[in-house]
Chain A
Amino acid sequence: MNKIFSLAFLVSFLLLSAIPAIAQNEELFFRAAGSPANPRVQASWNKYYTYQGVVDLCTKLSKAYPDLVTIESAGKSYQGRDIIVLTISDKKAQNPDFKPALWIDGNIHSIELQGTEMALYTAWYLCEMYNDNAFIRQLLKDKTFYISPTINPDAREYFTSIGVPPRSGLVPRDNDRDGLLDEDGYDDLNNDKEISQMRRKNPDGKFKSDPKDPRRMMRVPAGEKGEYELLGAEGIDNDGDGLINEDGPGGYDGNRDWGFNWEPNYIQGGADKYPFSFPENQAVRDFTLKHRNITGAQSFHNNGGMILRGPSIKNGGAETYSNEDDAVINTIGKKGEIMIPGYKLLTIWKDLYPVYGGEVDWWYGAMGCFVYSNELWNSYLMFYDSTNNDAYEFDRLLLFEDAFIPWQKVNHPVYGEIEVGGFSKNFGRLHPGFLLETDAHRNAAFCIYNSFQSPKLEITGIEVKKLPGGLKEVTATVENKRMLPTHSASNIKFKIDPPDYVYLDGGTVIAGMVVLDKDMKINQEQKKNPQRMEINNIAGYQRIDLKWIVKEGSKFTVRVESMKGGRTTAAAE
Chain B
Amino acid sequence: MRIPFRLLIMTVAFCAVILRLPAQAQYSNFKTMSQKIDLLSHEYPLLCSVKSLAKTAGGKEIRVITIGTGEKDNKPGIALFGGVEGNHLLGTELALGFAGSLLQESYAPEIKKLLGKITFYVFPDVSPDATEQYFAEIKYERTVNGRSTDDDRDFIFDEDPAEDLNKDGFITLIRIKDPSGKYTESKEDKRIMVPADLSEGETGSYLVYSEGIDNDHDGSFNEDGAGGVNFNRNFTFNYEEFGLNAGLYPVSEPETKAVADFLYARFNIYAVFTFGPQDNLGKPMKSSDQPEKDDRITSILKTDEIINKVVSDKYHEITVVNGAPVTETTSGNFMEWAYFHYGRYSFGTPAWWFPVEKGKNSSAAFLKYAEMNKKNDVFIPWREIKHPDFPGKTAETGGIKPFVMINPPADSLSLLIARNYKFITEIAAMHPELEFLDLKSENAGENIFRISLKLHNKGIFATCAGIGENNIWTRIMRITVEPANGQTILSGKKVQQVERLEGNQSAEFSWLISGKGSLKITAGALNTGSVSAEVELR
Measured CB to CB, the residues of A under 8 A from B are: 173-179, 240-242, 259-267, 273-276, 285, 289, 313-314, 317-319, 354, 365-366, 494-495, 498, 528
Is the CB–CB distance between B296 and A267 below 8 Å? Answer: yes
Question: In the complex, which residues of chain B have a beta carbon less than 8 angstroms from the beta carbon of A174?
Answer: 472
Having A173-B472, A266-B472, one finds 13 other A-B pairs with CB under 8 Å, namely A178-B476, A179-B525, A240-B494, A241-B478, A241-B494, A259-B249, A260-B249, A262-B239, A266-B343, A274-B257, A275-B249, A275-B251, A528-B218
Closest to A362 in B: B249
Whole-angstrom distance between the Cβ of A444 and the nearest chain B Cβ = 31
Is the CB–CB distance between A354 and B241 below 8 Å? Answer: no
Is the CB–CB distance between B236 and A354 below 8 Å? Answer: no
Asked whether B369 is an interface residue with its Cβ less than 8 Å from the other chain, the reply is: no
Q: A260-B249, A275-B251 are in contact. Are A177 and B296 (CB under 8 A)?
A: no
Asked whether B297 is an interface residue with its Cβ less than 8 Å from the other chain, the reply is: yes
Question: In the complex, which residues of chain A have a beta carbon less than 8 angstroms from the beta carbon of B261?
Answer: 273
Contact of A313 among B294, B472, B474, B476 (CB under 8 A): B294
Is the CB–CB distance between B241 and A265 below 8 Å? Answer: no
Asked whether B135 is an interface residue with its Cβ less than 8 Å from the other chain, the reply is: no
Measured CB to CB, the residues of B under 8 A from A are: 153-155, 217-218, 235-236, 239-242, 248-252, 257, 260-261, 264, 267, 294-297, 340-341, 343, 470-476, 478, 493-496, 525-526
Contact of A273 among B260, B294, B295, B526 (CB under 8 A): B260
Is the CB–CB distance between A274 and B495 below 8 Å? Answer: no
Smallest CB-CB A-B distances: 7 pairs = A259-B249, A318-B241, A274-B251, A495-B153, A241-B495, A494-B242, A266-B470
Question: In the complex, which residues of chain B have a beta carbon less than 8 angstroms from the beta carbon of A498?
Answer: 155
Q: A275-B249, A495-B153 are in contact. Are A365 and B241 (CB under 8 A)?
A: yes
Is the CB–CB distance between B473 and A274 below 8 Å? Answer: no
A500 to B153, CA, bound (A): 15
Whole-angstrom distance between the Cβ of A502 and the nearest chain B Cβ = 15
A174 to B525, CA, bound (A): 14
Question: In the complex, which residues of chain A have a beta carbon less than 8 angstroms from the beta carbon of B294?
Answer: 313-314, 354
Q: List 27 A-B contacts (CB under 8 A).
A: A174-B472, A177-B474, A177-B475, A178-B476, A179-B267, A241-B494, A242-B493, A242-B495, A242-B496, A259-B248, A264-B471, A265-B472, A266-B297, A266-B343, A266-B471, A273-B260, A273-B473, A274-B257, A274-B260, A275-B251, A313-B294, A314-B294, A317-B241, A318-B240, A365-B241, A494-B242, A498-B155
Question: In the complex, which residues of chain A have a beta carbon less than 8 angstroms from the beta carbon of B155?
Answer: 495, 498
A175 to B340, CA, bound (A): 20
Is the CB–CB distance between B241 and A260 below 8 Å? Answer: yes
Is the CB–CB distance between A242 and B494 below 8 Å? Answer: yes
Whole-angstrom distance between the Cβ of A222 and the nearest chain B Cβ = 32
A241 to B480, CA, bound (A): 9
Question: In the complex, which residues of chain A have a beta carbon less than 8 angstroms from the beta carbon of B236?
Answer: 262, 264, 274-275
Is the CB–CB distance between B242 and A267 below 8 Å? Answer: no
Question: In the complex, which residues of chain B have a beta carbon less than 8 angstroms from the beta carbon of A175?
Answer: 472
Question: In the complex, which residues of chain B have a beta carbon less than 8 angstroms from the beta carbon of A267?
Answer: 295-297
A276 to B496, CA, bound (A): 34
Whole-angstrom distance between the Cβ of A364 and the nearest chain B Cβ = 12
Q: Taking each of A174, A319, A365, which has the highest tally of chain B beta carbons within 10 Å of its own beta carbon? A: A174
Q: Taking each of B218, B235, B341, B496, which has the highest tally of chain A beta carbons within 10 Å of its own beta carbon? A: B341
Closest to B153 in A: A495
Question: In the complex, which residues of chain A have a beta carbon less than 8 angstroms from the beta carbon of B242?
Answer: 318, 494
Whole-angstrom distance between the Cβ of A56 and the nearest chain B Cβ = 34
Whole-angstrom distance between the Cβ of A365 and the nearest chain B Cβ = 7
Is the CB–CB distance between A179 and B526 below 8 Å? Answer: yes
Is the CB–CB distance between B296 and A263 below 8 Å? Answer: yes
Question: In the complex, which residues of chain B have a beta carbon less than 8 angstroms from the beta carbon of A178?
Answer: 475-476, 478
Is the CB–CB distance between B241 and A264 below 8 Å? Answer: no
Question: In the complex, which residues of chain B have a beta carbon less than 8 angstroms from the beta carbon of A313?
Answer: 294
Question: In the complex, which residues of chain B have a beta carbon less than 8 angstroms from the beta carbon of A318?
Answer: 240-242
A261 to B238, CA, bound (A): 10
Closest to A264 in B: B341
Question: In the complex, which residues of chain A have a beta carbon less than 8 angstroms from the beta carbon of B341?
Answer: 264
Q: Taking each of A177, A261, A365, A498, which has the highest tally of chain B beta carbons within 10 Å of its own beta carbon? A: A177
Question: In the complex, which residues of chain A have a beta carbon less than 8 angstroms from the beta carbon of B470?
Answer: 266
A366 to B249, CA, bound (A): 9
Is the CB–CB distance between A273 and B264 below 8 Å? Answer: yes
A176 to B473, CA, bound (A): 11
Question: In the complex, which residues of chain B have a beta carbon less than 8 angstroms from the beta carbon of A266?
Answer: 297, 343, 470-472
A385 to B235, CA, bound (A): 50
Whole-angstrom distance between the Cβ of A20 and the nearest chain B Cβ = 50
A550 to B365, CA, bound (A): 57
A261 to B475, CA, bound (A): 26
Contact of B250 among A259, A289, A494 (CB under 8 A): A259
A176 to B474, CA, bound (A): 11
A495 to B236, CA, bound (A): 22
Question: In the complex, which residues of chain B have a beta carbon less than 8 angstroms from the beta carbon of A314?
Answer: 294
Question: In the complex, which residues of chain A have a beta carbon less than 8 angstroms from the beta carbon of B493?
Answer: 242
Question: In the complex, which residues of chain B have a beta carbon less than 8 angstroms from the beta carbon of A289?
Answer: 248
Question: In the complex, which residues of chain A have a beta carbon less than 8 angstroms from the beta carbon of B526?
Answer: 179
Closest to B236 in A: A274
Contact of A177 among B218, B297, B472 (CB under 8 A): B472
Question: In the complex, which residues of chain A have a beta carbon less than 8 angstroms from the beta carbon of B257?
Answer: 274
Closest to B292 in A: A267
Is the CB–CB distance between A177 and B241 below 8 Å? Answer: no
A466 to B319, CA, bound (A): 80
Whole-angstrom distance between the Cβ of B95 and the nearest chain A Cβ = 23
Whole-angstrom distance between the Cβ of B179 and the nearest chain A Cβ = 23
Closest to A349 in B: B294
A490 to B433, CA, bound (A): 50
Question: In the complex, which residues of chain A have a beta carbon less than 8 angstroms from the beta carbon of B217?
Answer: 528
Closest to A268 in B: B295
Whole-angstrom distance between the Cβ of A166 and the nearest chain B Cβ = 14
Closest to B295 in A: A267
A528 to B525, CA, bound (A): 64
Whole-angstrom distance between the Cβ of A212 and the nearest chain B Cβ = 42
Closest to A499 in B: B155
Whole-angstrom distance between the Cβ of A199 and the nearest chain B Cβ = 25
Closest to B294 in A: A314
Is the CB–CB distance between A275 and B250 below 8 Å? Answer: yes
A179 to B527, CA, bound (A): 11
Closest to B474 in A: A177
Is the CB–CB distance between B295 and A366 below 8 Å? Answer: no
Whole-angstrom distance between the Cβ of B418 and the nearest chain A Cβ = 36
Is the CB–CB distance between B250 and A262 below 8 Å? Answer: yes
A175 to B478, CA, bound (A): 15
Question: In the complex, which residues of chain A have a beta carbon less than 8 angstroms from the beta carbon of B240?
Answer: 318
Is the CB–CB distance between A179 and B241 below 8 Å? Answer: no
Contact of A240 among B218, B343, B495, B525 (CB under 8 A): B495
Whole-angstrom distance between the Cβ of B335 and the nearest chain A Cβ = 16
Whole-angstrom distance between the Cβ of A246 and the nearest chain B Cβ = 11
A276 to B234, CA, bound (A): 14
A276 to B260, CA, bound (A): 13
Is the CB–CB distance between A366 and B494 below 8 Å? Answer: no
Closest to B480 in A: A241
Closest to A317 in B: B241
A16 to B212, CA, bound (A): 65
A313 to B264, CA, bound (A): 26
Q: Taking each of B153, B341, B343, B472, which has the highest tally of chain A beta carbons within 10 Å of its own beta carbon? A: B472
Question: In the complex, which residues of chain B have a beta carbon less than 8 angstroms from the beta carbon of A285?
Answer: 249
Q: Taking each of B154, B155, B470, which has the highest tally of chain A beta carbons within 10 Å of its own beta carbon? A: B155
Whole-angstrom distance between the Cβ of B248 and the nearest chain A Cβ = 8
Closest to A239 in B: B495
A365 to B294, CA, bound (A): 19
Question: In the complex, which residues of chain B have a beta carbon less than 8 angstroms from the beta carbon of A354?
Answer: 294
A366 to B250, CA, bound (A): 12
Q: Taking each of B294, B296, B340, which has the highest tally of chain A beta carbons within 10 Å of its own beta carbon? A: B294
A285 to B297, CA, bound (A): 28
